[in-house]
Structures are given as structure tokens and as C-alpha cells.
Amino acid sequence: MKKIRCQKCAKTIKRPQDLITVFFYFRIFFYHETCYEEELQYARFPFTNLIPLNTLLSNIFTVFTFLAALTFLFTDTGGTRLLGLLLLLPALYRLISYLKWERTFRK
């Protein structure tokens, strides 16, 4: 089992229920659930808030963006392929978060 440390308090996260993985400026951070709530209170930018990756809403968003990406990738015009590649990013970050940390943490 990997030791995952909270970004805010630097303590080890011991329970999978406490783990919040967050996407922020092309990096993935880890928080306790309570530390994440405290961090949201002090977020400086309203549209670049810490975006949790392992929540139900994030999973739904990832599925929709993945389906939209596939649609744009398999259409025949050139500009939509670039949009399709950009739409694959949320799914890629969710997959990395799950495979690299969450899955091994739950074992």
C-alpha cells in the first residue's frame, strides 16, 4: 500500500473514504476530506478551484467528456479532432488518479 500524504496537513491518509484527489493546474494533489473543505474556503480563483477527481459528479463529467471526445475524434473534419483530443484530458487525469493512487490505496 502506498503512503499518501495530505497536501495541506502532510499527515498520512489512512482510510479510502478520507481521500480526495484533486486536479489543479495540471497536477494531482491529495487531501483529507476535512482539509479539502478548509482549502475550498480559501480558494483565490473562483473558476480555477480545486477540482475533485474521485467524486460522483466528476465521474459523470468524465464519462460525458470521453463520449464527446470520441464523437469529435471520429468525425471527419480537422478542427474537431483537436477538440476531441482536448476533451480526452479529463478522462486521462481521472484514469491516472485511479490507477496510480486510488486503486493501490484501496487494496
Q: Is the pLDDT of residue 91 over 90?
A: no
Query: Is residue 2 in some structural domain?
Result: no
pTM across the whole model? 0.73
39 and 9 in contact (C-beta within 8 Å)?
A: no
Q: Give the HSE-up count for residue 71: Cα atoms under 13 Å, Cβ half-sphere.
A: 6
Query: Is residue 77 in some structural domain?
Result: yes
Q: Range of 77's domain? A: 16-106
Angle between helices 78-97 and 56-73 (to 10 degrees): 150
- How open is the CA angle 3-8-65, to the nearest 5 degrees? 80
Return the pLDDT at 43: 63
Return the pLDDT at 6: 84
Q: Report the number of distinct structural domains present in the chain.
A: 1
Query: Is residue 41 in some structural domain?
Result: yes
Return the pLDDT at 64: 93
Query: Is residue 81 in some structural domain?
Result: yes
